[in-house]
Amino acid sequence: MADAEQPQIYLITPAEVELSSFPDRLATVLDAAPVACLRLALTSTDEDRLMRAGDALREVTHARDVPLVIDRHWQLAERLGLDGVHLLDGARNVRAARKALGQDAIVGAFSGTSRHDGMNAGEAGADYVAFGPCAATALGDGSFADAELFGWWSQMIEVPVVAEGGLTAELVASLAPVTDFFAIGPEIWKAEDPAEALKTLASAIL
């Protein structure tokens, strides 16, 4: 995940995928717009299913020079030869994942809406910190990561920041000056044409 002046797209898989068809669907989406990284974000905790998904998607992403990381399971990342891990608990496991995967791996951390947790993750060695959701929802306590948080982070912290959750074209356009990556998943997979949905969101970055 190279740094760039203009924010890049960080794609997230659906929580459930059909391995007989999803790799082809993913390939179409990856060919629709530049993508900096793909996150395998299945809710399944079945090791065999995660291994098969990792193998199938790695072929698609690596053919396009797109790094592939996996949610939570850094031991699987190592076994599958993936590019890293995305942690869902802030700074808690950043050092352990880094020790297991090495300095060249991508280790990212999701920190919700907490500036403090994000700073701790960055200090622990995370390659990026993700905040979200970026708009109010009925989930959780309704809190969200607003433009002020991203603006402060971009001014004060060198660790790249990712905006994730509830993104619309309008939000993408407004946050583009203060974020490094937009993590996009449900926003496109629920669309009839995910590739076109990704193009629409990507065009809002410009």
Residue 54 near residue 40 (C-beta atoms within 8 A): yes
The CA-atom distances, in angstroms, between 78 and each of 74, 83, 101, 180 are 6, 8, 6, 26
Domain that holds residue 34: 8-201
1 found inside a domain: no
pLDDT less than 50: residues of the chain = 2-3
Domain tally, the chain? 1
CATH number at 121 reads: 3.20.20.70
Q: In this structure, what token pair is assigned to residue 137?
A: 């929802």
206 found inside a domain: no
104 found inside a domain: yes
45 found inside a domain: yes
**Assign residue 84 a region: left if phi > 0, alpha if psi is -120 to 50, beta otherwise?**
left
35 found inside a domain: yes
2 found inside a domain: no
Question: Can you give the pLDDT at residue 206?
Answer: 77
33 found inside a domain: yes
Question: Can you give the pLDDT at residue 4?
Answer: 54
Question: Can you give the pLDDT at residue 102?
Answer: 95
pTM exceeding the 0.85 threshold for the entire prediction: yes
